[in-house]
Homo-oligomer: A and B are copies of this chain.
Amino acid sequence: MAKGPAERDTEQVKRGGGVARVYETLRNEIIDLQLPPGSPIDETELSARFSMSRTPIREALVRLAAEGLITTLTNRATIVSNIDFVQLGAFFDALTLMYRVTARLAAQRYEESDLAKIRACQAEFAKAVEDRNVLGMIATNRDFHIAIAEAGRNKYYTDLFRRVLDDGRRILRLYYHSYDDNLPRQYVVEHERMISVMIARDAEESDRLAAEHADQIVRQIRSYISADSRSVSSLPL
- What residues make up the interface of A, taking CB atoms closer than 8 Å to B? 15-16, 55, 58-59, 62-63, 66-67, 74-75, 87, 90-91, 93-94, 97, 101, 105, 153-157, 159-160, 163-164
Q: How far is B91's CA from A74's CA once the two chains are assembled, in angstroms?
A: 35
Contact of A156 among B15, B66, B155, B163 (CB under 8 A): B163
Chain A facing B: main interface SS: helix
The quantity of this chain's copies bound in the complex is: 2
Contact of A154 among B16, B59, B90, B105 (CB under 8 A): B90
Q: How far is B154's CA from A90's CA once the two chains are assembled, in angstroms?
A: 5
Cβ–Cβ contact B16 & A75, under 8 A: yes
B-chain residues with CB within 8 Å of residue A157 when the two chains form the complex: 90, 93-94
B-chain residues with CB within 8 Å of residue A160 when the two chains form the complex: 156, 159-160
B-chain residues with CB within 8 Å of residue A155 when the two chains form the complex: 87, 90
Give the Cβ gap from A182 to chain B, nearest Cβ, in Å: 30
Nearest residue, chain B, Cβ from A153:
B90
Additional pairs, 13, CB under 8 Å, beyond known A15-B75, A63-B66: A15-B74, A58-B59, A62-B63, A63-B63, A87-B154, A90-B155, A90-B156, A93-B156, A93-B157, A94-B154, A94-B156, A97-B97, A159-B160
